[in-house]
Structure 1
Amino acid sequence: MTLSTSGLHDDLSQLRLDNSFAALPSTFYTRLQPQGLTQPRLLHANEQAAALIGLSPRALQSEAFLRVFSGQQPLPGGDTLAAVYSGHQFGVWAGQLGDGRAHLLGEVIGLEGNWELQLKGAGMTPYSRMGDGRAVLRSSVREYLASEAMYGLGIPTTRALALVVSDDPVQRETVETAAIVTRMAPSFVRFGSFEHWASRKQPDELRTLVNYVIDRFYPECRQTPTGETADEKGAILRFLDEVTRRTALLMADWQAVGFCHGVMNTDNMSILGLTLDYGPYGFMDTFQLDHICNHSDTQGRYAWNRQPSVALWNLYRLASSLHTLVPDGDALRAVLDRYEAQFIQAFHARMAKKLGIQHWRPEDEALLDSLLKLMHDQRADFTLTFRRLADAVRGQTQGFQDLFIDRAAAQAWYEQLAARHAEDPIAEESAADDAPAQIRANAMDAVNPLYVLRNHLAEQAIRAAKEGDASEIETLLTLLRDPYRAKPGYESYAALPPDWAGGIEVSCSS
């Protein structure tokens, strides 16, 4: 066994694999090998993600690593496959879907849990439909960065291990070059995985999938509060309840940082409550309640202010699938009825911290709503509005006011917040060394990021990557992994976007 000085493996062949999804019946997937890239080049590898599966930095530079993650050869000990699922896309039943350009290489036993490794952009599968099975450089860079940005924000997400590029041509709106991003997650099972078997009226396969997911990821659902083993109905209801809770918390996370997913189809909803499938996503610059980040979303179904309700709609589709095994519709609805309160409580908790409020009160909703309306009407920057609130608490209100056309209105709102702070004092024992205002402001900085993956920053990384330069990717990863602490010399990465950023459009082809 080849180990580095850090105790991590220098050789991929030393990884331990489980491949639990591949142990399911063959109806759940198709076994096939990827279609490797021609003359691939490793643009970037993520040492932090690699450590999760026991790989050393040295392993990432090996020829074997490049061959595996360019799709040229299998992962040692893996069991390569493409999974089948179905789903609703933009609210319309789309029927059978599946991994149209993704190949699951295997499931690695990590140091603190298992991780499935999946190539995105590795060629056609039986589920590609009219697609070519490829991914282009720009979308691959965006996904690579986004998953790590969300991780840095503490938001549940898939991770990214490697980004491999090639000169292979790929036709989109224009001819672009191919790339493969390696994604990592404990599981890539989605809501649509359950819809698939329910729609086909195959309860045995649905039960197999439910049992696999519960046993693997939700074993606590097998037990009742009294410690007795739950029957099938009880286990499934508890499973749905936990998925509902995780989804509500995820939506609160998204809303609190101004993140728009762009394509919240049921096949893009993780059964583990992870942010999954980064396509035409966006972190808002100018705040608009009904901001649409996906140029293809002409009806605004997935606008920022609609994401929480869309998540509930998707949960109803999941519950409808489980109705095949649990005919008690009232019991299923009772679980889903808890979603709204769970989301609101979580969202208020997050926004209270962003506003520097220690204990949320019902009347604080009016204070928050008035700020969001002001930001919407004045087209203020989402991220910087909250970040500069902390400076205002320190007595430096000009930066906050500068984000608004009507500076007087911004100051009037801030005075309301200051009055609220006066009713919510910092405990004296917490203020032993610093002034209470400084303690409050520091706490606000700890939850209001300075750096987010704005579209123009991603675009700058893409342009450099097209020239074979990964330095912008490395810089962004450094900033986004620690997004709350200001770093001297990187002020431009925390500034308002340049004028040309308004012309960036992302769509489903991204």
Structure 2
Amino acid sequence: MNIDKITQPFIEIFPGDFSGNTIQRNTPKVLFSTVEPVGFENPESIIFNEKLSKEIGLGKLDEKDFQFLAATNLPKNIKTYATAYAGHQFGNWAGQLGDGRAILAGEITNEAGEKNEIQWKGAGATPYSRHADGRAVLRSSVREYLMSEAMFHLGVPTTRALSLSLTGENVVRDMMYSGNPQEEKGAVVVRTAESFLRFGHFELISAQKEINTLIDLVDFTVENYFKNIKSEGEQKYKDFFSEVCIRTANLMVEWFRVGFVHGVMNTDNMSILGLTIDYGPYSMMDGYDLNFTPNTTDLPGRRYAFGKQGQISQWNLWQLANSLFPLVKDEKFLEETLNRYGNYFWEAHDKMLCKKFGFDELKKSDEEFFTNWQGLMQELEFDYNLFFNQLEKIDDNSNFENFFSKVSYGNLDEAKLQKLQHFIEIYQLRLKENIISRKESLDLMKKNNPKFILRNYLLFECIEELNIGKTEMLDELIKALENPYEEIFPEFSAKRPSGYDDVSGCSMLSCSS
């Protein structure tokens, strides 16, 4: 790989701490600290994403590169570092946070001039680890690698995964915070993104009242990642905030489209570029439930439940607006922009649902249709993605009970079947209002309704196999997630087996997942 082409423009521009140690501490008035990965004596490669490596400019993998992927024996040209940021966690100001188990190698530029940052996750402690060890376990690393790649192939903006390696050491974790810590295999993921900048980076500098550094950070972000913004002065900062709002709303709509629940939408887990970042206690939704949260830490309030992700993203943008106020200084503009956010999000959301149902355009009557559909989905306990797959196949001769029982987690009694039949009749009448043909309508549905989603129980089974050295399921899942709009493995396109309903790691997870 072209490791020698990695650069560090971020640390060349912003204030930093060059102490190079991992003592957990506050580091005021800096945006990063240099830190060396811990290094592992016996790393072992599990997956390498060769196609992604070529796309971002790293090229083919040589045997000597395996150690780089495991953050071991690094070349001298790389000065590794971790960034500091702040955040609101579960609605409360948490102060300084930072890359607790993520270490940046720097930036690589491909032949097209596109830049991507390269980051290890699980390579050891940093000054921001908050007295933790900075390691990662195989379980959480597999989840991050596979889901970030699954989201990419679904068409959802996301960070991506370059490699997954075993570290050769065991790590102690209390998976469900139940007082039962156990040893697990250690692992490290290399992930990439155009940038890993978060809302929290801006929150930290603003809270420290380092206004000149805040100006530098926004200018750097606009120049490198928002090149469509050509304005200057305060207008540039207004345009920047407006664009972040649009990207964030579009991301939320994509989460709703595929049924993704992040589980921990703290402001430090929000990408300034509108990417899905930090795959912890996430889940693809099985049974449709607006109140579903996969995160045990989010109970009982369910702040980050599936149906609340739009409003939480707006709340998080309010916190970003507060951070940018020293640059914008226009309270009315910020308030109006955030008020428009809700309208933009819901219109984009409903247009997305139109595509899932095969409607060619959004009509006023569709709001009531979607509301009735949501109630039906929850009452009949339908699987979110499988329902739409069945909807594509239904015709006038379909037996509703046989057709939809395979996608319901409950029992379809006579009363429920009557409600379902009534809904389908209304749906078919609505389809007749389309200008496009039925074939075009079906094509629209097939492009927006995946045949494969990476369910938690599949991840659970894959992790169990990897823990005993088996990789067959891993290989199959990678093939399936790379082709999510095709049914390559029919056994994966089925509802969650009931035996997994209450299994830790399948239905509910903790922030340690």
> Aligned match of 1:358 in 328, 336, 360?
360
Secondary structure of the equivalent of 1:267? helix
Change (3 A) 1:369 1:91: same
| Worse-matched range after superposition: 118-127 or 73-82 | 73-82
Q: Which amino acid aligns with 2:423?
A: W
Cα deviation for residue 177 of structure 1 reads 1.4
Q: Secondary structure at the match of 2:511?
A: coil
- Give the RMSD, CA atoms, in angstroms: 1.7
Per-residue CA distance 1:184-242 (angstroms, 9 max, x = gap): 0010000000000111111111111111101111133233xxxxxx22x1000000000
Q: 1:29 to 1:443 in 2, by over 3 A?
A: same
1:40 CA drift (Å): 0.6
CA contact (8 A) 2:2 2:59 kept: no
Alignment check: 8 A CA contact 1:104 1:119 kept: yes
Q: Which region of structure 1 is more displaced relative to structure 2, 463-472 or 125-134?
A: 463-472
Cα shift readout 1:54-87 (whole Å, capped 9, x = no counterpart): 3445x1xx33221111111225743311001010
User: What is the correspondence of 1:210-289 to structure 2 with a 5 Å cutoff?
Assistant: 210-223=218-231, 230-231=232-233, 233-289=234-290
Partner residue, 1:19 = 8
Residue of 313, 337, 340 corresponding to 2:339: 337
CA positional deviation for 1:119: 0.3
Tell me the equivalent position of 1:493: 492
Which amino acid in the other structure matches residue 280 of structure 2?
A: G
Q: How does 1:134-213 map to 2 (within 5 A)?
A: 134-173=135-174, 174-213=182-221
Letter in 1 for 2:292: H
Aligned to 2:423: 413
Mark the CA change 1:500 to 1:306 in structure 2 (over 3 Å): closer, same or farther: same
Match of 2:474 in 1: 473
Distance 1:196 1:501 in 2: 41
Q: Secondary structure of the residue that 2:33 maps to in structure 1?
A: strand
**Cross-structure match for 1:306:** 308
Work out whether residues 393 and 437 of structure 1, in 8 Å CA contact, stay in contact via their aligned partners in 2: no
| Counterpart residue number, 2:19 | none
- The aligned amino acid for 1:358 is D
Q: Does the 8 A contact of 1:249 with 1:342 survive in 2?
A: no
5+ unaligned residues in a row in structure 2: which ranges?
Answer: 17-29, 175-181
For the 8 Å contact 2:147–2:454, the answer to whether it is kept is yes
Change (3 A) 1:400 1:359: farther
- Aligned-pair identity (%): 38
Residue in 2 that maps onto 1:423: 433
Does residue 70 of the first structure (1) align with residue 70 of the second (2)?
yes
Query: Taking structure 1 as reference, are residues 479 and 122 closer, same or farther at Cα in structure 2, changes over 3 Å only?
Result: same
Verify the 8 A CA contact 2:35 2:82 in the aligned structure 1. Answer: yes
Mapped partners of 2:210, 2:450: distance in 1: 46
On the 8 A contact 2:58/2:108 being kept in 1, the answer is no
- What CA deviation, in whole Å up to 9, does each residue of 1:444-487 have, x standing for no partner? 12210010010011111111211233332221121112111122
The amino acid that maps onto 1:315 is L
- Name the counterpart of 1:122: 123
Which AA in structure 2 matches 1:21?
F
Q: 1:81 to 1:395 in 2, by over 3 A?
A: farther
The code of the aligned residue for 1:499 comes to: S
Corresponding residue of 2:109: 109
The answer for the alignment partner of 2:49 in structure 1 is 46
Residue identity opposite 2:36 in structure 1: Q
| Equivalent position SS for 1:325 | helix
Which one-letter code corresponds to 2:275 in the other structure? Answer: L
What's the CA shift for 1:340?
1.0
2:320 matches 1:318: yes
Match of 2:5, SS state, is coil
Contact 1:455 1:501 in 2 (8 A): no
Question: Structure 1 residues 387-396 or 149-158, which shifts more?
Answer: 387-396
- Alpha-carbon shift at residue 508 of structure 1 (Å): 0.2
Note if contact 1:82-1:103 (Cα within 8 Å) is conserved in structure 2.
yes
CA deviation after TM superposition for structure 1 residue 424, in Å: 1.4
Q: How far 1:353 moved relative to its partner?
A: 0.6
Answer yes or no: is 1:34 the counterpart of 2:37.
yes
For residues 482-510 of structure 1, the C-alpha deviation after alignment (integer angstroms, 9 at most, x for no partner) is 111122xx111101111222122311011
